[in-house]
Each structure stands twice: as C-alpha cells, then as structure tokens.
C-alpha cells in the first residue's frame, strides 16, 4: 500500500485539471496571434483569469500568471519594491526560502520579524521594526498567510493595516493557504498575493500573482508585453487552464475542511496516545485543517522519514539535508524550538482523498518505528 500524506509538498493532479490540460494541449494557438486559433487560446486565458480572480476576490486584469509560487513571490517582492520606491524589506521569520531569497536579491535593507513560540508573526516586534525605520523610509512587508511546515495562520490583516498606516506595502505568500481556506485579497487588503497550482491539484510549474487594484509592479521577465506588460513570455495556456479547473474544484471542496480537520485531530490524538512526550507544533493557534507537524524527542526526522517511506507512507520533514548532515528546520528554530527537538520534527499533510483507514495505518506503522527506535537507543 502506498499512502500519500505530503499534500503541502504537492497535491495529486485533479481529474478536472487533467481534462482541461489535455483539451488545451490539443489546441494550437498563441494567445498573441490575431487569427481564430490565437483568439481561442486568448479566450481560454481570459476565462481562466476570471475564474482565479473571482476565487481570490481580485479583478481579472490584476492576475499575472507565472511559472509557479516561487516566481509569483519573486515578482511580488522585487516588482513591488522596484516600482514603488521601497527602501526596506521586512520579512516574517518563518517565510518560505523563495521569499527570503527574493528579499535578499533586492539589494535593499532586509530585516526578519520574529514569530512567537506558536509560530505566528509577533505584531509587537513588527510595530517596533516599523517604529525604528528612519524617516522617509518606505517598507515592504512579506508575510505568508499559512506556513508550509506547521500550517499556522498569520495575522495578515492586522499586519497589512500596520504597514499601510506607516506608508508601506505588503506582499502575501498565500501558496499554502489557497484552496485550503478562503483567501480574499480584498479582505486582507494587501498589495499583492502569490498562489501556486500544484498545491491544490493543478499542474506543477504554474502560479499567479494577484494585485490590488491600481498597484504598480515592475516586471522581472521582460519580453513581448504579455500579462499586461507585467510578465513577458508566451503564456502556458494548458497549465493555466489546468490551474483554473483545479481552483474551481478546490473552492467547491472548501466545505470539507472541517472533516479534514477532524481526521487530522483524530490522528493527532492517536499519536499522542503512543508518545506522551510528543510536541505538536501550532496546536494552540489557528492552523490549516490539513497540516500536522510534530516531534518526539530523540526520534530523528530522518529516521522517521525513512521508516515511513519503507512502510509505504510519503511524509516530509522541515529539516534540510545537505552533505549528509540533517539541518534543523529554520521554521522550528524561529519558533524557538531547541535544535535537538527541531531535528525530530516531521510534517503529515492531508488532502480531500485522505481516509481515516490510511491515517490509522500510518499511526500503526509510526508507532512500530518508534518502538524500534527506542529499542535501538536502549541497546
Ligand atoms: N511559498 C510557500 C509557502 C510554499 O510552501 C511553496 C512551495 O513549497 C512556495 C512558496 C513555492 O511554490 P512553487 O513550488 O509553486 O514554486
């Protein structure tokens, strides 16, 4: 039996997306061409743009398609900073690597804003950082809506209000949140927001940046004026069509969130029954319904990943493995989790197809791996 429990890494392609991709692949046409085939491709882009705009509560003319969440975040961070004369970039300490890297690449002054032990942005630390800016500074805040490792939901509305009152701008990374909870750009009030198709059952390598009405953005990819001059390059029509189909299906499925959370909570209490010293990250704060991140002291993430893979379960850890050494997750460290415990943290992420039977099987196999690890320790 193979059980996939790594939806936050990527989700299985939805049937609706596959059908839309196949249909678009069978049609020839460059959306920039004036003939009928080109107009048909453009119509497909326009329709997909409307679907995604509506899902995000943005205008369709403010959706810029990209090659994924990474590019959408890069465009948001670098494009907003460049077009609006930003002087400083404030980055939440648990942001995805692509956001940290884009901020660094801007060449502007970058400051990390701490999170509290629960994993949510420390709004007092944000207020202090804004306060400490020199007069005339124009900050850009980069903040995720939900964390990829813990699922913890960030106070995006309050943070956005603080930045706007200080004359700054806000870019939101909604890559993990989109399709798992309602994401409405107009309600958050931010200036830009990044999403990605493959996290919600769309194809890999497609994403979008949604902009608030009237937001100025400088392109990162210069070219033939596609995407309203905001991202050059012939559009990935099949990918975009697949993305829109996945969005429709994911939004229709949002009502299942409570059932997914109930499954996750069931698994959480089963695991806690097996290890009294288990630490569940984000248990006491709002988090995504599908995400469970936990650690048991001295039960290394690497050992767990290998044992569970052998038993047929795909899960993940935040720990990065380089040159044979496992490095503790930066997210855990930012949450002040001690290094030893951080290197034991693993993530199980569920989807709408996940069953209770699969989770019970996971808990059984994990419990056996824990007993083996404890026996090895004692030997
Ligand atoms: N932002 C977050 C929070 C993510 O979890 C990911 C993917 O893991 C990304 C950005 C990057 O998205 P993509 O894989 O589409 O480049």
Q: Is the CB of 200 under 6 A from ligand 1?
A: no
Q: Is the CB of 160 under 6 A from ligand 1?
A: no
Rounded Cα–Cα distance for residues 219 and 230 (Å): 5
The backbone torsions φ and ψ at residue 157, rounded to the nearest 5 degrees and listed phi first, read -65, -50
Give the end-to-end CA distance of the chain in Å, rounded to a whole number: 31
Give the residue among 196, 192, 155 at the shortest CA–CA distance from 179. Answer: 196
Fold of 15-252: 3.40.640
Give the per-residue pLDDT at 327: 74
Q: Kindly report the pTM of this predicted structure.
A: 0.97
CB 171 within 8 A of CB 190: yes
Q: What is the pLDDT along the chain (379 residues), one digit of tens a residue?
A: 799 999 999 999 999 999 999 999 999 999 999 999 999 999 999 999 999 999 999 999 999 999 999 999 999 999 999 999 999 999 999 999 999 999 999 999 999 999 999 999 999 999 999 999 999 999 999 999 999 999 999 999 999 999 999 999 999 999 999 999 999 999 999 999 999 999 999 999 999 999 999 999 999 999 999 999 999 999 999 999 999 999 999 999 999 999 999 999 999 999 999 999 999 999 999 999 999 999 999 999 999 999 999 999 999 997 555 555 567 889 999 999 999 999 999 999 999 999 999 999 999 999 999 999 999 888 8
What single DSSP character describes residue 88?
E
Within the chain, residue ranges assigned H as helices are 15-25, 36-56, 69-74, 80-84, 97-105, 123-131, 156-165, 185-188, 226-229, 237-252, 257-274, 301-310, 330-334, 339-342, 356-378
- CB atoms inside a 10 Å sphere around CB 42: 18
Q: Measured in angstroms, how far is the CA atom of residue 99 from the centroid of ligand 1?
A: 9
For residue 71, the ligand 1 atom closest to its alpha carbon is 16
Give the per-residue pLDDT at 1: 78
Q: Measured in angstroms, how far is the CA atom of residue 368 from the centroid of ligand 1?
A: 32
Q: Is the CB of 291 under 6 A from ligand 1?
A: no
> Partners of 210 in the beta sheet?
63, 193
3-10+254-378: which CATH number, 3.90.1150.10, 2.40.160.10, 1.20.210.10, 3.10.20.90?
3.90.1150.10
Give the per-residue pLDDT at 49: 98
Q: Measured in angstroms, how far is the CA atom of residue 198 from the centroid of ligand 1?
A: 9
| Boundaries of every domain in the chain | 3-10+254-378, 15-252
Q: Which residues are catalytic?
A: 321
> Partners of 195 in the beta sheet?
208
Give the per-residue pLDDT at 320: 57
Give the residue among 71, 115, 72 at the shortest CA–CA distance from 92. Answer: 115
b vs e for 180-198, b when ≥16 Cβ sit within 10 Å of the residue's Cβ? bbebebeebbbbbbbbbbb
Q: Is the CB of 73 under 6 A from ligand 1?
A: yes
């Amino acid at each position: 039996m193979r059980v996939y429990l790594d939806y936050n890494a990527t989700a299985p392609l939805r049937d609706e997306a596959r059908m839309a991709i196949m249909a678009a692949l069978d049609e020839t046409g460059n959306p920039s061409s004036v003939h009928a085939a080109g107009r048909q491709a453009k119509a497909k882009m326009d329709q997909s743009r409307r679907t995604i705009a509506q899902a995000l509560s943005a205008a369709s003319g403010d959706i810029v398609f990209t090659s994924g969440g990474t590019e959408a975040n890069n465009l948001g961070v670098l494009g907003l900073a460049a077009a609006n004369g930003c002087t400083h970039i404030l980055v939440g300490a648990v942001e995805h690597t692509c956001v940290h890297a884009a901020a660094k690449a801007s060449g502007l002054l970058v400051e990390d804003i701490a999170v509290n032990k629960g994993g949510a942005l420390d709004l007092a630390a944000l207020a202090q950082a804004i306060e400490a800016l020199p007069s005339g500074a124009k900050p850009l805040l980069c903040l995720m809506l939900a964390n990829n490792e813990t699922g913890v939901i960030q106070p995006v509305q309050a943070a956005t209000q603080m930045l706007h009152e200080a004359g700054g701008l806000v870019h939101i990374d909604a890559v993990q949140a989109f399709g798992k909870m309602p994401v409405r750009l107009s309600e958050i009030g931010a200036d830009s927001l990044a999403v990605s198709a493959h996290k919600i059952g769309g194809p890999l390598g497609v994403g979008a940046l949604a902009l608030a009405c009237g937001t100025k953005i400088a392109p990162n990819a210069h070219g033939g004026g596609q995407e309203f001059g905001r991202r050059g390059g012939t559009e990935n029509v099949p990918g975009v069509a697949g993305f829109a189909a996945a969005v429709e299906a994911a939004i229709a499925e949002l009502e299942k969130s409570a059932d997914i959370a109930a499954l996750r909570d069931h698994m959480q209490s089963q695991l806690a029954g097996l290890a009294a010293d288990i630490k569940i990250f984000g248990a006491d704060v709002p988090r995504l319904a599908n995400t469970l991140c936990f650690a048991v002291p001295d039960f290394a993430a690497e050992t767990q990943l290998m044992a569970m893979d052998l038993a047929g379960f795909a899960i993940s850890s935040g720990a990065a493995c380089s040159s044979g050494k496992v490095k503790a997750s930066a997210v855990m460290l930012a949450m002040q989790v001690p290094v030893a415990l951080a290197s034991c943290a693993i993530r199980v992420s569920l989807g709408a197809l996940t069953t209770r039977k699969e989770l019970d099987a996971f808990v059984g196999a994990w419990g056996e791996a824990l007993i083996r690890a404890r026996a090895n320790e004692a030997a």
